[in-house]
Amino acid sequence: MSSTNDSPKSLIQTLKQLGPGFLQSACTIGGGTLGACLFLGSFAGLSALWIQPFAMLLGVGVLLMITHVTLSTEKSPFGQINQHVSPVLGWGWLIATVAANMVWGLPQYNLGTDALTQMVVPGVLGKDGALGGEGGTMGRVIATAVMAGCAVGIMLTQLRKGKGGRLFDRLIQLVVAGIVICFGAVVIKLLSTGSLSIGSIAQGFIPSPSLFFEPASGYTEMLGQSVNVEFWSDRITTSQRNTALAAISAAVGINMTFLMPYTLLARGWGKSQRGLARTDLFVGLLIPFILVSGFVVSAAAATLHGKANVNQALIEWKFSDPGEANPSGLGPYRDNLVAFAKDNIEGWDKETKAKDKTPEQVAQDNVLLDTIPESERLIAAATIKHGTAALGATLESLFNGKTGVFIFGVGVFFIALSTVLVHMLINGYALEVGFGIPRQIGSLLPLVAVIGPFFWGELSAYLVIPTSMIGLMLLPVALWGFLLLGQQKKLGDAKFGPVMLVVGIFVTVVYTLLSAWAAYGKIGDWLTKTIDGISPKIGWVGPGLIAAVAVAALLTSPLVRGKKSESSDAAE
C-alpha cells in the first residue's frame, strides 16, 4: 500500500491528521485501567502516581516498534509475520486479538451500565428510579441499550469513507477529551478543598521503588497501633507490589498491538508519516493516559488511601449478629480479618478450608472475628480493594451533593463507551484481514457483550483466565516477531537504527518477564483454588505455556526451516 497523505508541513496540519493515537487512548483507558488506578491510589496513595506513566512509556515503546515496521514496509503485518516469522505466531496473534475484544467487552458494558444507573441518572434508571423496574432490572436493560446504541451509531460513521471516517476520529477525540475533563474536574475540586496539593502530586511522579518493599506512608499511624505490625506490613506491601506490576503488565493489551498497524494502513500512511505517527502516539496516547490515570490515582489517594473511616460500617459490623443489609466491601474485609485470625487468634481452625466448613464452624469463626481488636479492624477496612462506587460515595460528601458523583459517573461512562468502540473497530480489521469477513459485520460481533451487565459475574470465572492466558502467551512472542521484522535486510535504510533497536529489545524483554510473572500468578491462583492439595508451584505452567508458544513459533519459522520468503503473501 502506498501512502496517500503528504507529510504535514505545519502544526495545524499535524493536529488535523492526528487520530491513531487517540484510538489507542480509547482502547487502553478502559475499565481495567480505571480499576488499576483506583487500586493504586487507595493502596499506595500519591507515591504510586509514577507507575502508570512508566507503564505507558513502555507501551509507547512497543507501539513505536510496531509503527516503524508497518510504515516502513507499508504492508499488512499479519501477512508479514506469517511469511517471515511464523504462521503460528501470526494466526495466534489474530485469534487472541478477537478473543480479547469479545471477552473484555463484557465488563465494559457492566461498567458503563453501573455508571448510568448508580451515578449519572440513578433517579431514572436506578433500583428506585422511575424506569428502574423491579430490582432495577429494567433500568439496566435501558442503560445497556443506550450504551450499545451510542456505540453502533458512532461506529457506523467510521465505516463510511471520507467525511464519515474523519467524523469518527473527531468523536473519539471528544470522548477522550470528555474523560480528561470529567476526572480533571474532580481533582480541581480536591485541590480547592486542600485534600490535595500541587506539590504532593508533583512528588508522586518521581519514581519511588519503596512501594515495592514497604507500606505507603498513609498506613504509618495505623500500623503503629497494631498488635502484629509484621503481618500487616507484609500483606500491604504484597498488595502494593502486585497491583503495581499488574498495572504495568496490562498497559498494552494484545488487541492494541493489532489496532495500531491497521489504523495506520487504513489512513494510507507510509514511510513519510513515521514522524507524524510518533507525534500522534505522544499527543494522542501518552498525554491523555498520563492525565486520566494521574487524576484517578490522585482522587483515590485523597479520598480512600489509609482512610478506614470511609468504611465505618464495616468496622462496626458484628459477624455473629449481622444486620439486614451487608455493607459494601464486606467480603474483602472479612477476607482480611480471616487472614489475620489464622495466625493471631487462638482457637482458629486453620486446617479446614473455608468451603468445607460446616455452618457450626462458620458460626464459631464469626464469634472469633468479633474478638479482633479495633486497631486490626481499622487496617482490615483500610486495605480492601475499592470500586468506582466507593470513590463516588466519597465525592458526594466532597461536592456537598450529587454533582461530583454525576461528573465522575459521566467520566466512567465515557471510559466504557470508548473502549467498546475500539473493540468493535479492532474486531472489524481482524476478521477482515484474517477471514475476509466484511468489516461492517466483524465490527458488530462484539455487541454480544451486551449480556455483560446481567451475566458477567457467572461468565468471568470461565472466560477471564483462558483469555488472559492467551494474551499473555502471545504478547511477548508477538513483540519478538516485530523485533525480528524490524531487522529484515530488505528494509534497507529503514531497518531499526541503534536507538529503535535498543528500545525494541528493552520493551520486549520487559514485557516477556512481566507476562511470565503474570502468567505464573494467574495459573497458580486458578489451579490452587480449583484443585485441592495442589502445590502453588503449579503456577510455572503459565511461563511454560509461553515458552511452548515460542518453541512452536520457532519451529514453524522460515528462519529456522531455511525457506526463502516469497515476494508476496495472500494475506497482505
Interval 210-244: pLDDT, tens: 888 999 988 888 999 998 999 999 999 988 888 88
Q: What is the mean pLDDT of residues 310-334?
A: 79
Q: Residue 15 — very low, low, confident or very high, per pLDDT cuts 50/70/90?
A: low
Q: Is residue 36 part of a domain?
A: yes
Contacts (Cβ under 8 Å, ≥6 apart) of 412: 34, 111, 112, 114, 115, 119, 388
* Domain count across the chain: 1
Region of poorest pLDDT, from 237-251, 259-273, 457-471 = 457-471
End-to-end CA distance of the chain: 9
Q: Residue 50 — very low, low, confident or very high, per pLDDT cuts 50/70/90?
A: very high
Q: Residue 567 — very low, low, confident or very high, per pLDDT cuts 50/70/90?
A: very low
pLDDT for residue 145 is more than 90: yes
Q: Is residue 261 part of a domain?
A: yes
pLDDT tens readout for residues 76-108: 889 888 888 888 888 988 988 898 888 888 888
How far is the C-alpha of 498 from the C-alpha of 503, rounded, in Å? 9
Region of poorest pLDDT, from 107-121, 296-310, 424-438 = 296-310
Q: Is residue 178 part of a domain?
A: yes
Query: Tell me, what DSSP letter sits at residue 355?
Result: G
Region of poorest pLDDT, from 215-224, 342-351, 558-567 = 558-567
pLDDT for residue 522 is more than 80: no
Q: What is the predicted pLDDT for the residue at 464?
A: 53
Contacts (Cβ under 8 Å, ≥6 apart) of 230: none
Which amino acid would we find at residue 203?
A: Q
Which amino acid would we find at residue 52?
A: Q
Q: Residue 307 — very low, low, confident or very high, per pLDDT cuts 50/70/90?
A: confident
Q: Residue 498 — very low, low, confident or very high, per pLDDT cuts 50/70/90?
A: confident
Q: What is the predicted pLDDT for the residue at 3?
A: 43
pLDDT for residue 137 is more than 80: yes
pLDDT for residue 461 is more than 70: no
pLDDT for residue 162 is more than 70: no
Average pLDDT, the chain: 83
CATH number, domain at 198?
Answer: 1.10.4160.10
- Name the residue range of residue 265's domain: 15-308+389-458
Angle (nearest 5°) at CA 239 between 463 and 297: 90
Asked whether 390 and 405 are in contact (CB, 8 A), the reply is no
pLDDT tens readout for residues 56-66: 999 899 999 99
pLDDT for residue 379 is more than 80: yes
pLDDT for residue 309 is more than 70: no
Asked whether 291 and 36 are in contact (CB, 8 A), the reply is no
Dihedral sign (CA 55, 56, 58, 63):
positive
Asked whether 257 and 478 are in contact (CB, 8 A), the reply is yes
Q: Is residue 57 part of a domain?
A: yes
Asked whether 112 and 412 are in contact (CB, 8 A), the reply is yes
The segment with the largest mean pLDDT, out of 198-207, 243-252, 376-385, is: 198-207
pLDDT for residue 565 is more than 50: no
pLDDT for residue 148 is more than 90: yes
Contacts (Cβ under 8 Å, ≥6 apart) of 355: none
Q: Residue 492 — very low, low, confident or very high, per pLDDT cuts 50/70/90?
A: confident
Torsion of CA 69, 75, 81, 82, to 10 degrees: -170
Q: Residue 570 — very low, low, confident or very high, per pLDDT cuts 50/70/90?
A: very low
Q: Compare 536 and 121 and report the one with higher pLDDT.
A: 121
Q: Compare 117 and 457 and report the one with higher pLDDT.
A: 117
Q: What is the predicted pLDDT for the residue at 397?
A: 64
Name the CA radius of gyration of the chain, rounded. 25
380 Ramachandran zone, left/alpha/beta (phi>0; psi -120 to 50): alpha
Q: What is the predicted pLDDT for the residue at 568?
A: 40
Q: Which helix (H) or strand (E) holds 95?
A: helix 87-114
Q: What is the mean pLDDT of residues 327-334?
A: 82
Q: Is residue 501 part of a domain?
A: no
Q: What is the mean pLDDT of residues 513-541?
A: 77
Q: Is residue 149 part of a domain?
A: yes
Q: Compare 399 and 170 and report the one with higher pLDDT.
A: 170
Q: Compare 374 and 84 and report the one with higher pLDDT.
A: 374
The count of C-alpha atoms lying within 13 angstroms of the C-alpha of 295, restricted to the half-sphere facing its C-beta, is 21
Q: Where are the alpha helices (DSSP H) in 160-253?
A: 163-192, 198-204, 220-224, 229-249
Q: Compare 168 and 294 and report the one with higher pLDDT.
A: 294
Phi, psi of 555 (to 5 degrees): -65, -25
Report helix angle 254-266 to 20-28, nearest 10. 160
Q: What is the predicted pLDDT for the residue at 298?
A: 93
pLDDT tens readout for residues 384-395: 877 666 676 666
pLDDT for residue 463 is more than 60: no
Q: What is the mean pLDDT of residues 490-501?
A: 80
Q: What is the predicted pLDDT for the residue at 4?
A: 47
Asked whether 226 and 376 are in contact (CB, 8 A), the reply is yes
399 Ramachandran zone, left/alpha/beta (phi>0; psi -120 to 50): alpha
Q: Compare 514 and 340 and report the one with higher pLDDT.
A: 340
Q: What is the predicted pLDDT for the residue at 57?
A: 92
Asked whether 3 and 392 are in contact (CB, 8 A), the reply is no
Region of poorest pLDDT, from 4-18, 154-168, 254-268, 371-385 = 4-18
Q: What is the predicted pLDDT for the residue at 571?
A: 41
Q: Compare 443 and 486 and report the one with higher pLDDT.
A: 443
pLDDT for residue 572 is more than 60: no
pLDDT for residue 455 is more than 60: yes
Q: Residue 564 — very low, low, confident or very high, per pLDDT cuts 50/70/90?
A: very low
Which amino acid would we find at residue 382?
A: A
The three-state DSSP-derived secondary structure of 445-470 is HHHHHHHHHHHHHHHHHHHHHHHHHH
Q: Is residue 191 part of a domain?
A: yes
Q: Is residue 58 part of a domain?
A: yes
How far is the C-alpha of 368 from the C-alpha of 372, rounded, in Å? 7
Dihedral sign (CA 342, 347, 353, 357):
negative
Region of poorest pLDDT, from 30-34, 292-296, 420-424 = 30-34
